[in-house]
Amino acid sequence: SSETISAPGNNLPQARARLAATSSNSYGYFGGGFAPPFVDTIDRIDFSNETTSAPGNNLVFSRSFIGALSSSDYGYFAGGYKTPPFSGNAYDSIDRINFINETISSTPNSGRLPVSRYGVAATSSSAYGYFGGGRSSAFYHSLVDRIEFSTDTTSAPGNNLPQARYAFDAVSSN
């Protein structure tokens, strides 16, 4: 209403970079990042009183440069730069947080990014989430992948970004 900026007074318990955020109607969730080292931590902010806490569940793997978006029921954290001892450095899995019970799981139905990458941007509509761009090893991508919220399956909608890019953000409107 006033477009003023203020600090809520409650910070994350740990300073970290390259994390991602998603939200339900009641809470915001900050996941992963680089502290150093890479972390799998999820922290929650309560929108009603702006207090921060840990919901008790973390991402499946520690990583940074994650893309995150939400449906009405779930938050999704996709891709990322992962820690050793894994081969390569990009992650293709999508972790899902259930907003009802705050449990974390890998998406069912093989919901994965078709190309492992980090630094993806994410945005969503009421039916789909979109992960665009990213980087894997020395390659920059213009790919756009779609996750269908009703089935948690991923596909390529057929239209990619006009140019390859990574470590950027996206927004959406109705």
Mapping DSSP onto H, E and C, the string for the chain reads CCCCCCCCCCCCCCCCECCEEEECCCEEEEECCECCCECCCEEEEECCCCCEECCCCCCCCCEECCEEEECCCEEEEECCEECCCCCCCECCEEEEEECCCCCEEECCCCCECCCCCECCEEEECCCEEEEECCEECCEECCCEEEEECCCCEEECCCCCCCCCCCCCCCCCCC
State pLDDT tens for residues 55-73.
999 999 899 999 999 999 9
State pLDDT tens for residues 101-117.
999 998 877 779 999 99
The answer, yes or no, to whether residue 85 has pLDDT greater than 70, is no
Maximum mean pLDDT: which of 90-94, 112-116, 160-164: 160-164
Query: Would the pTM of this model clear 0.85, i.e. be above it?
Result: yes
